[in-house]
């Protein structure tokens, strides 16, 4: 059972990290009025950096201007635009299949429902959470490698499965701050609490962080 002490501790960590990164937000670039563009960017971001995705999406969206254009395309037509990314052939297939699903089953509009999102090819639980939070403003903590790592190092969870980490974080943090937590923890994980050698001397919570699993740090 989650205790009030554990919740208070989690909120403290979030307060301090958010204060350090007050401008934390999604770093994928897309038209904020078009959830489809966000879906595409999120699918492309798997096993790739946001920087890498942001380099390819302008040309991709210029060639395929909307979900209908993607639905009419073949994966081989999409591949040249994303070949600098990992698993680009599989991603091209997923994007075309996703577009056809959205057009056929959702009248061309990305659904603002998590269960329906997870029915779309290439969209798993984490991707659906990212889309719900950023496209529709619905509270969600998408657990990627950064969020999972931060949560474990701070002692907020012992889970490794992203879905289980998400459930535990939701119990610890106020629902109104779930989106904030997702962004803040990602920025913290990319800039300070990096995977191999976290910069603990620059960390805003270093005095209270248990450093679970951390053996080498700067």
* Domain CATH number, residue 89: 1.10.340.30
The domain total for the chain is 2
pLDDT tens across 16-38, in order?
A: 999 999 999 999 999 999 999 99
For residue 95, pLDDT over 90 is answered with yes
The 10 Å Cβ neighbour count of residue 40 is: 29
Q: Tokens 């960390």 belong to which residue?
A: 203
For residue 136, pLDDT over 90 is answered with yes
Examine residue 151 and state whether it is found in any structural domain, yes or no: yes
Question: Are 154 and 127 part of one and the same domain?
Answer: no
The residues carrying an active-site annotation are 126, 144
Range of the domain at 81: 35-136
In CATH, what number is assigned to the domain containing residue 152?
1.10.1670.10
Question: Are 194 and 149 part of one and the same domain?
Answer: yes
Question: Are 107 and 39 part of one and the same domain?
Answer: yes
Better-predicted residue by pLDDT, 202 or 1:
202
pLDDT tens across 46-77, in order?
A: 999 999 999 999 999 999 999 999 999 999 99
Confidence of residue 1 (pLDDT cuts 50, 70, 90): confident
Question: Are 78 and 155 part of one and the same domain?
Answer: no
Question: Are 43 and 130 part of one and the same domain?
Answer: yes
- Please provide the average confidence, as pLDDT, over all residues in the chain: 97
Examine residue 29 and state whether it is found in any structural domain, yes or no: no
Examine residue 96 and state whether it is found in any structural domain, yes or no: yes
Give pLDDT, residue 207.
94
Give pLDDT, residue 143.
97
Question: Are 190 and 120 part of one and the same domain?
Answer: no
Q: Phi and psi dihedrals of 135, rounded to 5?
A: -90, -30
Question: Are 131 and 155 part of one and the same domain?
Answer: no
């Amino acid at each position: 059972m989650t205790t009030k002490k554990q919740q208070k501790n989690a909120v403290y960590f979030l307060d301090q990290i958010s204060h350090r990164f007050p401008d934390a937000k999604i770093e994928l670039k897309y038209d904020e009025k078009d959830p489809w563009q966000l879906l595409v960017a999120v699918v492309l971001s798997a096993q790739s950096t946001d920087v890498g995705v942001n380099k390819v999406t302008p040309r991709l969206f210029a060639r395929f201007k909307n979900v209908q254009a993607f639905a009419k395309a073949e994966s081989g037509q999409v591949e040249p635009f994303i070949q600098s990314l990992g698993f680009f052939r599989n991603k091209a297939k997923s994007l075309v299949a996703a577009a056809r699903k959205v057009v056929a089953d959702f009248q061309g509009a990305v659904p603002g429902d998590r269960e329906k999102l997870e029915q779309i090819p290439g969209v798993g639980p984490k991707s659906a959470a990212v889309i719900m939070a950023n496209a529709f403003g619905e509270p969600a903590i998408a657990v990627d490698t950064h969020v999972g790592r931060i949560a474990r190092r701070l002692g907020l969870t012992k889970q490794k499965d992203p879905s289980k980490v998400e459930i535990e974080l939701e119990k610890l943090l106020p629902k109104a701050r779930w989106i904030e937590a997702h962004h803040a923890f990602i920025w913290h994980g990319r800039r300070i609490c990096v995977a191999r050698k976290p910069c603990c001397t620059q960390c805003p919570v270093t005095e209270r962080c248990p450093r679970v699993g951390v053996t080498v740090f700067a």
